[in-house]
Structure 1
Amino acid sequence: MGLSLGTATEASTIVDDVTGKTVTLREDGRGDRVVGAPWATRSPVLAMNGMAATSHPLASQVAIDILKDGGSAMDAAIAANAAIGLMEPTGNGIGGDLFAIVWDPKTEKLHGLNGSGRSAKGQTLAQLKAKIGDVSQIPNWGTPPVTVPGTVDAWFELHKKFGKLSMAQNLAPAITYAKQGFPVTEVIAYYMDIYQKRYEKLHKAGEIEEIANYQATFLINGKAPAEGQVFKNPDLANTLSQIAKGGRDAFYQGEIAKTMDAYFKRIGGPLRYEDFANHSSTWVAPVSVNYRGYDVWELPPNGQGIAALQMLIVLENFNLKAMGHNSADYLHVMTEAKKLAFEDRARFYADPDYQNINLDYLLSKQYGKARAKLIDMNSAATQVEHGDPKLIEGDTIYLTVADANGMMVSLIQSNYRGMGTGLVADGLGFIFQNRGAQYSLTKGHPNVYSPAKRPFHTIIPAFITKDNKPYMSFGLMGGAMQPQGHVQMVTNIVDFGMNVQQAGDAARFHHKGSTSPTWEGRMKDGGVLELESGVTASTVKELQKRGHKIHITSGPFGGYQAILKDLQTGVYHGASEMRKDGQAQGY
């Protein structure tokens, strides 16, 4: 076997003593693959009866066990989500929200669920501003950004429509792990340590009202658990047991709701019992654009999924394949398309109960072509404007599961920023989300804070169909990275022919600095284009020449999981994110 050659920023060449040929060494310490792309981390996982791809190996195993016990893909997804809420508290939990896209083989159609919670009914914009003082945006920590957790209700809505096993069976694995403990994995331990330091600093500064409950729940002898250390959460086990026995009402109308109400009264937070009791999820119709023969599906606002679709209708006007993957032209046009889509995102996306958007116009080929003409291939835009005003009419986890009957579930769930607010209600074992930090404070903006309103959401599940058949269930978590990441996965597969694992392993870009959905600061300097070290030095230099500010880094590029269904054989191809701890499993 010859050496597999990779690309490095500063490569060294040697003469091979056996072949006599000059070869280039990557010098990055990584081994070489025998087949496939030299930069890929592993082969896709292949199976016929069921597949699960999550960000934690034990959660993937939980999903497979549920499938083997006769559960549907939805049962397995709920079970895995409950387990990850315990095992990866740095990204999700039952204090957060949930969105899902489901392919139902019975109806042969996609279903969407918006499981996001609302702001406190009893708190006005004026009251919120009085609480947070003279600042331009809502703080990320403590009680100001708290909204009602939507996950538990979403579980039961999804289960009622697509489940086969009882919810008690689905929650049993997470309850057992919470009681008996599990070893903490490398990436999660890293982030738990970061958040301990952050929360304690913020509490000392008065930004988090209390952290004693967090410390009692998530620390071991006063320290965040280290990699390999066994972590238990008996309080969460008790909470999940109450939910398993009493259903969603146990959380929103029973003792759990009363405990949450008492907690917020005690620490001065806005949520009350009626906010929990009045909560409900919403079934929504997924929306799509056709990209080179593939229908790419996202959920409508209050999420940001249509930003990915907006990028695609712009990019379809360019020959990406001819440009070459991660070339200067490719990264330039992708970044510029992102800037255009994100200006619309900042101006128009909001809770549809308060502001409607003309999605047909926004996602039309005509609009995409008009926006594409604004891209200068030789120069990076420092600022761009949002589209026509007639558009207005009125850390996270992702997992995917597929079963033998053809059901495919694309599910994303989050506390928003990292572990959330830092607030843990007495004895409940989970942290409340800080999703409310995404409201705007600007009067007249569609996303401005209002009582009982859902905030702008970053978390988005995705799906691809081909000829009205399910092709790929996927997601890429990570705040504003998500639409950018979704588009990169689509182009990697559709334009460049990568397999489902290679699509996630390829070096990514992340542009930051666009106008925020909170309307806090318009982009005026072009932002920063963040790149992984897998890109070439010549590409970076060319991008800098065109005016891009480049930062080579690691971390902001999200986490990807996917299941692709071969349209000829029906075989599932599973992929997981090499930047995180998870894996894909099948049987």
Structure 2
Amino acid sequence: MTTARSPFDWSVTDPHHNNEYMRFASRRSTVLSTKGVVASSQPLASSAGIEILNAGGNAADAAVAVAAALNVTEPCNTGIGGDAFCLFYDAEKRTVRAFNGSGRAPQAMTLDVLRSKGVDGIEIPGNSIHSVTVPGAAAAWVDTVEKLGSGKLTMQDILAPAIRLAEQGYPVHESTAYLWGRSEKLIKNASPNSDEMLFQGRAPRTGELMRMPTLARTFRELATKGKEGFYTGRVAQAIVDLVKSQGGVMELDDLKDHLDRGTEEVKPIQYTYNHPAAAGDLEGKEGVTMYECPPNGQGLTTLVALGILDELQNQGKVGDLASVKHNSVEYLHALIEALRLAFADTRYHVSDPHHSEHDVAALLLNPKYLSERAKQFDPTKASVDLEKGSPANTCDTVYFSVTDQYGNACSFINSNYAGFGTGAVPSGCGFTLQNRGAGFTLSADHPNCVAPRKRPYHTIIPAMATRGDELFLSFGVMGGFMQPQGQIQVLMNVLHHGFTVQDALDAPRFCIGAGMAGPEGATSEVYFEQGVDQNVVDQLAKMGHQVKVVDGWGRFQFGRGQVIQKVANDTGKLVWAAGSDPRADGQAIAQV
């Protein structure tokens, strides 16, 4: 048996399983740098970001380069046909800015129209053309560079690495090949233009050289014409033609409307986790403040869960989480139940704030409300009933984090929603259209009911944490409703257990599954990654949790995170520490 590399090497404590497999065979070291760092789920995309940093760009410039390169190298998760959100830490002003790059439903999209077209049930099916909302990513890329970038580089400079990869070709990586193959049938059936997303009529395999010339053409138009190159003209017409050919209601004016509005800068929502262990050794600076984009995103779920965990410790319902053993019964039960309580609220209340009468974040983060919610926690059994909604499992998003030598950080996320989204390819464009409209609810009295020019409930959430006004972490964990769950688990690993950022990502996770109807006390299934002690899983089952252990490719459902930490040191020189999730192909790369 090998000696444990770190103090939390769970493989050593479980003699019943193969040690190396239990550790996910990561063996990744934390990446350290005094300049910039890029951490993404794809090595070629991380390299694209480094190229932009070396050319004089800042974290925002590099983030857009990474987003575009990921569209080329990992289209099974992301693309310009989807949406994007970002948080940006301005080192000079010591502030966090937030941008919502999500698109809206077409003007003609109403509940009655959907019913007349045979769309029934609780939600719009993910493979339906009616699930296509206006793509917001293209505008988000341009606006990120214009509003947050260094001003030294043009969009042509920033998109150059992605265009080069698309035109010259790139070797498909292992995880991407697996996910691409899983969606081959979807792509072939979704539109007449499937060959633009296939290799010789099929999904590419690991190591095969994939070229995407039509995507390169789309990128060139965005680079030279700006947002108009996507939301008007050839690309916009191709999107509308495809949607309408399948009975959809999107018009050119819907894309023009997004162009006119631009990416929305929003005030980030935040919660300061005041438990004493969070303050660290920084005198006069209490706690760690978590930042999220506000609704229509689900970042509020992370903050509510964090607030409930704070209250559970303050009320003595659980021990100090810094002292409770990592991934023990007490520890996991507290995190699972706090997240269930958070999801029960946010899955119902989160919607487009422009279509709501209430400030949902202010209501749910009210200290009195959090205190009352924490009182529902039972330390002896699983007792939370999610009648108003529960998370589902999906892992088809890309998250990445970029920092620069000036101390800025960009926490960025881009997504098609489910895999290739609808799988439908606008002719001559080289990307698939997202199915984010599946996030709407088809119930007339629900806050998240579909409506004209409304944004749906969004799962993708970048995160940041500060200590006082100093950046602490720029991070995220992609994967649908796994995202707030992953953020909480990774944050606690670093904050309470002293894990390095790489170790925090390597550690095995849980994922709350879809809610299950049943008798009083029934709860949603909880998936545990192989590596969590089986005795712990068995005890949680006795407490009422419906448990299932997952291994192999199924580990995708536990998300794929990237973390960059600003490290305190005695020299006063900036040092970044970065990690990249072993559940993906990616890596963190430091700027030289």
Q: TM-score, normalised by structure 1?
A: 0.90
Deviations 1:462-486 (CA, angstroms, capped at 9, x unpaired)? 0000111111100100000001111
In the alignment, which of 369, 372, 376 is matched to residue 374 of structure 1? 376
Report the CA distance between 1:382 and its aligned residue: 5.2
Alignment of 1:375-454 (within 5 A): 375-381=377-383, 383-384=385-386, 395-454=396-455
Amino acid in the other structure paired with 2:271? V
Q: Is the 8 A contact 1:343 1:384 kept in 2?
A: yes
Aligned in 2, Cα 1:514/1:286: closer, same or farther, shift over 3 Å?
Answer: farther
Higher alpha-carbon deviation: 561-570 or 141-150: 561-570
Match of 1:556, SS state, is helix
Deviations 1:234-288 (CA, angstroms, capped at 9, x unpaired)? 0001111111111111111222212222232333222110000000321001111
Match of 2:242, SS state, is helix
d(CA) in 2 for partners of 1:174 and 1:473? 24
Deviations 1:8-33 (CA, angstroms, capped at 9, x unpaired)? 59955xxxxxxxxxxxx85244599x
Match of 1:525, SS state, is coil
Matched residue, 1:353: 354
Amino acid in the other structure paired with 1:67? L
Matched residue, 2:393: none
Deviations 1:57-84 (CA, angstroms, capped at 9, x unpaired)? 0111111111011111111110111000
d(CA) in 2 for partners of 1:133 and 1:456? 18
| 1:296 is aligned to 2:298 | no
Matched residue, 2:18: 27
Matched residue, 1:57: 43
Matched residue, 1:254: 233
| 1:233 is aligned to 2:212 | yes
Report the CA distance between 1:332 and its aligned residue: 0.8
Report the CA distance between 1:532 and its aligned residue: 0.8
Matched residue, 2:546: 549
d(CA) in 2 for partners of 1:255 and 1:537? 56
Alignment of 1:420-569 (within 5 A): 420-514=421-515, 525-553=522-550, 554-568=555-569, 569=573
d(CA) in 1 for partners of 2:11 and 2:80? 42
Deviations 1:511-570 (CA, angstroms, capped at 9, x unpaired)? 11249xxxx999973010100111112101110110111110123100100111113342
Higher alpha-carbon deviation: 430-439 or 290-299: 290-299
Matched pairs, number: 550
Matched residue, 2:306: 312
Aligned in 2, Cα 1:522/1:442: closer, same or farther, shift over 3 Å?
Answer: farther
Aligned in 2, Cα 1:78/1:334: closer, same or farther, shift over 3 Å?
Answer: same
Q: Where in structure 1 do 4 or more consecutive aligned residues deviate above 4 Å? A: 5-12, 29-32, 384-387, 520-524
Matched residue, 1:77: 63
Q: Is the 8 A contact 1:340 1:385 kept in 2?
A: no
Matched residue, 2:33: 47
| 1:285 is aligned to 2:267 | yes
Unmatched tracts of structure 1, length 5 or more: 13-24, 33-37, 204-209, 388-394
Matched residue, 1:171: 159
| 1:571 is aligned to 2:575 | yes
Q: Is the 8 A contact 2:511 2:527 kept in 1?
A: yes
**What RMSD over aligned residues (CA atoms) do the two structures have, in Å?**
2.3
Amino acid in the other structure paired with 1:212? P
d(CA) in 1 for partners of 2:465 and 2:14? 38
Match of 2:466, SS state, is strand
Q: Is the 8 A contact 1:511 1:530 kept in 2?
A: yes
d(CA) in 1 for partners of 2:526 and 2:519? 17
d(CA) in 1 for partners of 2:61 and 2:491? 27
In the alignment, which of 86, 98, 104 is matched to residue 84 of structure 2? 98
Match of 2:193, SS state, is helix
In the alignment, which of 261, 270, 273 is matched to residue 252 of structure 2? 273
Aligned in 2, Cα 1:375/1:152: closer, same or farther, shift over 3 Å?
Answer: same
Unmatched tracts of structure 2, length 5 or more: 276-286, 314-319, 390-395
Match of 2:327, SS state, is coil
Match of 2:265, SS state, is strand
Q: Is the 8 A contact 1:9 1:533 kept in 2?
A: no
Matched residue, 1:206: none
Q: Percent identity?
A: 38
d(CA) in 1 for partners of 2:82 and 2:376? 38
Q: Is the 8 A contact 2:215 2:430 kept in 1?
A: yes
Aligned in 2, Cα 1:415/1:522: closer, same or farther, shift over 3 Å?
Answer: farther
| 1:68 is aligned to 2:68 | no
Matched residue, 2:585: 581
Match of 1:339, SS state, is helix
Aligned in 2, Cα 1:29/1:39: closer, same or farther, shift over 3 Å?
Answer: closer
Q: Is the 8 A contact 1:339 1:514 kept in 2?
A: no
Amino acid in the other structure paired with 2:385? Q
Report the CA distance between 1:364 and its aligned residue: 2.8
Deviations 1:172-200 (CA, angstroms, capped at 9, x unpaired)? 11111111000000000000000013445
Aligned in 2, Cα 1:539/1:2: closer, same or farther, shift over 3 Å?
Answer: closer
d(CA) in 1 for partners of 2:306 and 2:519? 23
Q: Is the 8 A contact 2:14 2:533 kept in 1?
A: no
Alignment of 1:320-339 (within 5 A): 320-339=321-340
Match of 2:464, SS state, is strand
Aligned in 2, Cα 1:522/1:499: closer, same or farther, shift over 3 Å?
Answer: farther
Matched residue, 2:283: none
Match of 1:132, SS state, is coil
Q: Is the 8 A contact 2:348 2:447 kept in 1?
A: yes
Amino acid in the other structure paired with 2:541? Q
Report the CA distance between 1:575 and its aligned residue: 0.8
| 1:3 is aligned to 2:18 | no
Aligned in 2, Cα 1:490/1:182: closer, same or farther, shift over 3 Å?
Answer: same
Match of 1:212, SS state, is coil
Deviations 1:189-248 (CA, angstroms, capped at 9, x unpaired)? 000000013445xx3xxxxxx43312x112222221000000000000111111111111
Amino acid in the other structure paired with 1:507? P
Q: Is the 8 A contact 2:562 2:580 kept in 1?
A: yes
Deviations 1:475-503 (CA, angstroms, capped at 9, x unpaired)? 10000000111111111111111111111
Aligned in 2, Cα 1:474/1:228: closer, same or farther, shift over 3 Å?
Answer: same
Aligned in 2, Cα 1:133/1:9: closer, same or farther, shift over 3 Å?
Answer: farther
Report the CA distance between 1:384 and its aligned residue: 4.7
Report the CA distance between 1:454 and its aligned residue: 0.4
Higher alpha-carbon deviation: 186-195 or 161-170: 161-170
d(CA) in 2 for partners of 1:404 and 1:521? 54
Q: Is the 8 A contact 1:142 1:423 kept in 2?
A: no
Q: Is the 8 A contact 1:9 1:537 kept in 2?
A: no
Match of 1:59, SS state, is helix
| 1:222 is aligned to 2:201 | yes
